């Protein structure tokens, strides 16, 4: 008999509500990594933590804070969903390396080194040139490794991502993206990058955001699961998980915040990015947290074993959480 099958979504940015928390439970989702910063400063990020503390208090029968892999197991036993925090931009650490440890102490477990643009740490995927990880970035990677804040390169450019993989003493993650060979969106990751990521024990979370999907919102479940099967043959099923990038119930104005932040007066969609404003429609087979069963069925249909399905649906992320959310072991 295989190990207990956990269900983990390693990236969502929903418009949080009691309705969504109930849907997480209906979908038997044991843990979700939620974005609490796109372009926020440290203080603005703390305000988002305050909002989450209110949700934890009001809905403590449905959700609980997550800090360690063990919290996922505790949540499962209690019939709750463990919520893990992450940043899609290093803006909350501003220009202060000491804030990396503070953010980890406040519950952050993932931080992207860049979000589409050049940051103080790394280059984003929409920049014309990618000089790689910066001087500050090298220091930040070492500090993130020390405290257990996972490096996420989902929105970063290729050289910066390869640099991060090489510089990091611990495995890194691409929490929400798909292979470029399946769908040539600029945000999707090239084979060279995914091979380097997974060879070093890193994790790839497959995205269901329509701009990342072949045929967009018309992508079929079979196409998505066949892509995962091909990825498993190239990179190993043990290095794969789900990171849906679900933005459920968000108003279209949030897209402007995600893309523009405060840096631009006009929307720069980036080369190869869809120019349509607002959120695209999700595939009919995955619209909210109640639809994870469909992915599980689709993975079995393309030939994955029960243990492999359990790994992709959550057990692989749980193993990664166990190994990487705490301080680095001293030699």
Determine the CATH number of domain 8-324.
3.20.20.140
Give the tens place of pLDDT for each residue, 15-60: 999 999 999 999 999 999 999 999 999 999 999 999 999 999 999 9
Query: Given this model, what pLDDT does residue 1 score?
Result: 36
Give the tens place of pLDDT for each residue, 216-231: 999 999 999 999 999 9
What are the Cα distances from residue 178, in Å, to 21, 45, 318? 26, 28, 20
pLDDT surpassing 70 at residue 269? no
> From the centroid of its chain, how far is CA 50?
22
The 3-state DSSP class for residue 253 equals helix
**Location of structure tokens 């500050």:** 136
Query: Given this model, what pLDDT does residue 212 score?
Result: 96
Q: Residue range 58-77: average pLDDT?
A: 98
Backbone angles phi, psi at 108, to 5 degrees: -65, 135
pLDDT surpassing 90 at residue 163? yes
Residue 43's H or E segment, with its range, is helix 42-58
What distance in Å separates the CA atoms of residue 103 and residue 93, rounded to the nearest whole number? 8
Among residues 38, 26, 36, 31, the alpha carbon closest in space to that of 9 is found at: 31
The 3-state DSSP class for residue 84 equals strand
Query: Given this model, what pLDDT does residue 271 score?
Result: 46
Close Cβ partners of 53 (under 8 Å, ≥ 6 residues apart):
none
What distance in Å separates the CA atoms of residue 309 and residue 4, rounded to the nearest whole number? 11
Query: Given this model, what pLDDT does residue 272 score?
Result: 45
Residue 236 CB coordination number (10 Å): 14
Average pLDDT, the chain: 95
What distance in Å separates the CA atoms of residue 292 and residue 135, rounded to the nearest whole number? 41
Q: For residue 306, what are its two tokens?
A: 């029960």
20 burial via Cβ count (<10 Å: 0-12, 13-18, 19+)? buried
What distance in Å separates the CA atoms of residue 308 and residue 228, rounded to the nearest whole number? 11
Give the tens place of pLDDT for each residue, 203-259: 999 999 999 999 999 999 999 999 999 999 999 999 999 999 999 999 988 988 888
* 233-237: Cβ within 8 A, 24+ apart: 234/191, 234/194, 234/195, 235/194, 235/195, 235/197, 235/198, 235/204, 236/198, 237/304, 237/308, 237/311, 237/312, 237/316
What are the Cα distances from residue 121, in Å, to 86, 124, 278, 301? 16, 10, 29, 42
Backbone angles phi, psi at 166, to 5 degrees: -70, -40
**Location of structure tokens 């599980």:** 296
């Amino acid at each position: 008999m295989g190990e207990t099958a956990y269900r983990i979504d390693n990236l969502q940015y929903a418009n949080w509500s009691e309705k969504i928390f109930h849907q997480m439970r209906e979908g038997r989702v044991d843990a979700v990594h939620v974005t609490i910063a796109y372009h926020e400063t440290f203080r603005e990020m703390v305000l988002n933590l305050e909002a989450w503390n209110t949700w934890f208090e009001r809905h403590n029968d449905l959700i609980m804070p997550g800090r360690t892999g063990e919290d996922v197991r505790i949540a499962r036993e209690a019939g709750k969903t463990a919520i893990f925090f992450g940043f899609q931009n290093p803006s909350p650490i501003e220009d202060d390396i000491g804030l990396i440890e503070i953010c980890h102490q406040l519950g952050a477990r993932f931080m992207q080194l860049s979000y589409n643009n050049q940051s103080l740490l790394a280059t984003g995927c929409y920049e014309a040139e990618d000089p790689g990880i910066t001087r500050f970035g090298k220091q930040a990677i070492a500090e993130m490794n020390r405290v257990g804040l996972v490096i996420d390169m989902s929105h970063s450019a290729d050289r910066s991502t390869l640099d991060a993989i090489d510089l990091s003493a611990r495995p890194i993650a691409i929490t929400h993206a798909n292979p470029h060979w399946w769908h040539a969106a600029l945000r999707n990751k090239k084979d060279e990058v995914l091979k380097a990521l997974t060879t070093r024990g890193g994790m790839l979370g497959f995205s269901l955001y329509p701009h990342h999907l072949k045929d967009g919102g018309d992508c079929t479940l079979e196409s998505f699961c066949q892509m995962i099967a091909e990825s498993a043959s190239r990179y190993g099923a043990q290095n794969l998980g789900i990171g849906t990038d679900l933005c459920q119930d968000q108003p279209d104005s949030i897209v402007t915040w995600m893309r523009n932040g405060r840096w631009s007066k006009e929307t720069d969609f980036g080369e190869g990015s869809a120019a349509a404003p607002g959120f695209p429609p999700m595939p009919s087979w995955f619209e909210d947290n109640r639809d994870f069963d469909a992915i599980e069925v689709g993975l079995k249909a393309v030939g994955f074993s029960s243990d492999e399905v359990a790994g992709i649906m959550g057990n692989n992320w749980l193993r990664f959480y166990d190994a990487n959310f705490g301080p680095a072991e001293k030699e």
